[in-house]
Structure 1
Amino acid sequence: MDEAFLARLWAKLYAINTSPSRRGPLALDATTRALYERAAADPSSLSGQDRRNILERPSREEEESVCHEVCGLTAPELVAKAVQDPDSLSYREVDLIMRGFKKHKGIEDLWRKAEKAAKTKDELAAEEACWPKRLAWSDARNAAREAYGTGGYSIRRSLMSVPWQDHIMNSSASTKTLAPSGFVVFYTKDQEIDRTAFKAQLKKSVSLGLHRFLLLPHEPIIRGFKLHDTPHDSLESLQSHFVTMRDAGGIPTGLRQDAFLYVDDEASQSFKSERPFIWLWEPQEQSESQEQLGPVKVDIMHVAPLLLIWLTQRDMALEGRQLEMWRCKPDLEGFHKAAAQSRNPYSGKEHDGIWPPLTFGI
C-alpha cells in the first residue's frame, strides 16, 4: 500500500478522532474499560461487534443500507476502493468513510445544535477563543509532515516504540504542562560571523521534528524542550567549559548533563548545504589510556526528537530501551559508527559522516 496515502489517511483520522465531537465517553464503565484494555492488549481477540462498539459504528445492516444509498457499494467494497484507488472516491464516499459509516450528517447537525444550546455563554466563548490555537497546532503538524515526508516510516515507528516520552514526563522536573529536556549549545565568540540564520534554521528544525513525531498528549515535551545557547571562547576547551557549567549547576534542569552541541564555522557554513549539521560531543570522563573520541556531526533535522530519544535511552532501565539501531549503541562510539555508514542521498550518495545515516531509511 502507498506510504504517502497511509500517512495522509492517518493524519486525517487523527484529526477526526481528536475533535471535540469524538472524545469518547467521559467516564468508562467497567465493561467498556475492560473492552478497551483487551483491545489494546490483544487486538486479535476482538469480535466484529466489539469493533463496532469501540468505533461507535452502527449495526451492520444500517451500515450497509447507508453505504448502498450513498454509492451503491457494500462497506467492505468501499473500503477496498479507498485503499486501492483513493483518487477515484467521490467527496460523499470520503465523507462516509471518515464519519465511520454513520447516517447522513443531518443527524450530526441536529446534535451540534443541541450541543450548542446546552453550553453556557462562557463555554461557547472559550471554545471560540481556542480555535486559533487549535489551528496553529494543525498548521505546525502539516508543516512538519511536509518537511519530513513519509520516507523511513517503519524505522521512525520502531524508534517511537521506545517509551522515552514517559521517561521524560515522569521525571521529577516535569509538571502536567511542562516536561523539560534539551541541550546546551555552544557558539564560538566571533563578531565577524553571523549565526542568526543558522540559529533560526536550527530552531525551526527542532519545532518541525517535535511536531512531526509527538502527539498531543506529549505536548509538555514540546513546550519543555530547550536549546540553551552559550557563548564560548575558542581558546578554552569545550569539554572543560561544559564540565565547569555542570558542576556549578549552570545547566538548566532537564537538559542533558552527559552531552552537548556546538556550532563552529564549518557547522555554520553547512546551513547552505543539503544537510545542515551541528556537532555533538560529550565530556571525556575516562582514563587517559583510553582513546579520546572526537565530536560527531548531527543533522539538525534530527536533533529533536531522534537525538533526544537516543540519548534518553542511557537513563532508562534495560527493559525499556531499544539499545541498538543501525547496529550501534547510544554511546559516542555508536554515534561515530553509525555516522560512518551515512551517505548523502542528494549528491551521488557520497559518504558525508553525518548522523543519522539516511541510507538506513530515516
Structure 2
Amino acid sequence: MSKNFVISPFAIHQAITLLYMGKDKHRDPELGKALQLVGRRTDKILSFFERARTKAIQQDFVMANRIYLSPYYNESEHMRSISGGLGVEVENIPFSEGSTSGDEIEKWLNQTIDKGTRSHLFVKDNLTEVTQLVAVQGNSLSCTFKHRIKSQTTMSFSIPMHNRRPYVYKVQMMYTVAPLEFFNEDEVRGVMIPFSKTDIGMLVLIPRRLGTQRILYNLDKYLQVPLRKAEKTHLFLPIFSVQETVDFNLALHSLGINHVFINVTHHDRNENAAYFKQYNNLEVKPNRVLMQSEVGADNDQRVVNVNRPFVFVIKDENTIYMVGRMDSV
C-alpha cells in the first residue's frame, strides 16, 4: 500500500454483509459477530444501509458496488432480493474468459464512477476458470465543506525523515476561519471539518509525536475521544487528491472467505477463488473561494495548521465512509 491512500470501510461492510446474509443457511457465526449482525433483524440491517447510502449520495458520493459470481457459485434468490437494500449489485460472469471478463468489469467501474479515470484492477491471469467470486467497489468524492474557503495561500509542509532533518516543501493551502469541533491529546490533535449538505464531515488527525501509521493502528481509540464544543478556529488545510486501487485479498483470506462463502464443486478449485478490489478517488479542493491573498492568523484565537502528514476519517455519528492518510501532498 502506498504512503498516501484512501479506503472505504462502508463499501466493504456493504459487500461482506451481502455475502453473509445472502446465504439461506450455514451463515458463519464468527463473521456475523464481527459484522455486529448477530441478533439483528433483516429489516433493521437494510434500513441502516439505506439511510447511510442515501446520505452519502446526498453528499455527492459516487458509489459503485458489485459482486460478480461465476456459474459455479450457487447464489440464492434471497441474496438477489436483499442486494438492492444493501446497495450491492449481483452479476453473473464467466471468469473462464480471463482478460475479457476483467475488461468488462473495469469498463463497468469506469463508466459508473465517471470521473475520467481508467482504473486498472486486474493483471494477466488474475481471473481464470478457478475464480468463483469477484467483489469490485468504486468510490469517488469531491469534498464540499460547510464553511467557505476564504482564500488560498502557499505554506510549508514538513515530512519527518528518519535520522535526518525533515523534508520541507511548499504546498497550496486552503484557509478559513469558522467554529470547528476539536480535541487535543498528547499524541494526536483532531479537528472536525463539516460538509455542506449533511452531518458527514472529515475528521483530520494530526500527530504530535506519532507517525500516521501508529494513528491508523490505534484509530478506534482516537475515534472514541469526545470532541469539544466548537470554537472559532483558523484552519489551514492542504489541497490534495488521492486515487488508489486496493486489493483486499489478504484481508479476505484472514477472514476465511474461501471457506465461508464459496461452494467448491470442483476438486481443482484453489485459494485464488475470490478477489476483492476497491478503487477510490478523493479530492479536497477549495470551494466558493472568496478571495485570493496571503493570509495570517489572529494569535489570540485557535489555529490549526495541517502542515505535516495526517490521517483523515470521513464519517458521521454512525458510519465511517472513508479513511486515509496523506504522508505527502
Q: What range describes the TM-score normalised by the shorter chain of this pair?
A: under 0.3
Taking structure 2 as the reference length, the TM-score comes to 0.24
Q: Which has the higher helix share?
A: 1
Taking structure 1 as the reference length, the TM-score comes to 0.22
